[in-house]
């Protein structure tokens, strides 16, 4: 069985406040980028043990630290008698760029196993496991834009402007850790919610739709601000950083 975990971009990202549990309350729109994806294959093992092999990946270390393997082990808690499986992951989504590749891989592992076990895509156990794997993981159970609140795990279908656009993605190769991204964040509540802004014409997003991480990251990595400027010069209707970076993207008329 094979699947193609897709990337995501964030249309806006507001950091609202620091929570008592140490996380931040946020608001964002997760948007699927189905033209950029990894490949994940699951096949019955030819031995008595399971394994994970990754290609074109900068992942190093024991398989136990990989999100695909964590998802597999989590699923086995519900189906302990599943036959041993081998996993093959081919990476195309850049790692550490704010595109959600690792999260997508993990959730598509869950989706493959659910299909094998004939679980419904709406099975609440899938959402439970996705939320345990990471704050943005639950989004990858869906194939449509979703508004995320809380830590990003509380989702509802996003209503977007009806204008069609194409996405151009620029990954400069800069790796920014989540810790580094949050270092200089100043949480605040915007005057207008992301859900409101997304219903407006796309050309108005430039003035209203923000990724709060840009304020903390651009001063340290001015090359990212330059990429954003270049995307607008090329005719982008809207340009932004995805997540905590460093991937930049532009939305252009289709």
Q: Point out the residues that are catalytic.
A: 8, 136
Q: Which long-range contacts (CB under 8 A, 24 or more apart) does 61-70 make?
A: 67/102, 67/103, 67/105, 67/106, 67/133, 67/134, 68/40, 68/105, 68/106, 68/109, 70/106, 70/133
Please give the Cα distance from 109 to 75 (Å, whole number).
9
Residue pair 87/40 in contact (Cβ under 8 Å)? The answer is: yes
Please give the Cα distance from 201 to 185 (Å, whole number).
28
Please give the Cα distance from 156 to 43 (Å, whole number).
33
The two structure tokens encoding residue 100: 């959600």
Please give the Cα distance from 183 to 196 (Å, whole number).
28
Please give the Cα distance from 147 to 159 (Å, whole number).
9
Please give the Cα distance from 183 to 231 (Å, whole number).
27
Beta-carbon contacts of 162 under 8 Å, excluding residues fewer than 6 positions away, are none
Three-state DSSP state, 145: coil
């Amino acid at each position: 069985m094979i699947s193609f975990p897709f990337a995501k971009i964030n249309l806006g990202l507001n950091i609202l406040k620091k929570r008592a549990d140490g996380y931040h309350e946020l608001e964002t729109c997760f948007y699927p980028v189905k033209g950029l994806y990894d490949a994940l294959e699951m096949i019955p093992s030819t031995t008595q043990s399971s394994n994970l092999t990754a290609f074109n990946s900068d992942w190093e270390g024991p398989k136990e630290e990989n999100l695909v393997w964590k998802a597999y082990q989590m699923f086995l808690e519900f189906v302990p008698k599943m036959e041993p499986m081998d996993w093959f992951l081919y990476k195309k989504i850049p790692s550490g760029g704010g595109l959600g590749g690792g999260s997508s891989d993990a959730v598509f592992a869950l989706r493959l196993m659910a299909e094998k076990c004939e679980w419904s895509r709406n099975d609440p156990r899938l959402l439970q496991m996705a939320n345990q794997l990471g704050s943005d993981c639950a989004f990858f159970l869906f194939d449509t834009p979703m508004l995320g609140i809380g830590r990003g795990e509380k989702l509802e279908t996003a209503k977007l402007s009806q204008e069609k656009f194409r996405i151009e993605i620029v990954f400069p190769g800069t790796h920014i850790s989540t810790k580094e991204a949050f270092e200089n964040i100043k949480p605040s509540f915007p005057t207008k919610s992301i859900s409101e802004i997304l219903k407006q014409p796309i050309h108005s997003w430039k003035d209203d739709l923000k990724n709060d991480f840009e304020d903390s990251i651009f001063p340290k990595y001015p090359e990212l601000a330059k990429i954003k400027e270049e995307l607008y010069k090329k005719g982008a209707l809207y340009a932004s950083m995805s997540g905590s970076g460093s991937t930049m993207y532009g939305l252009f008329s289709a």
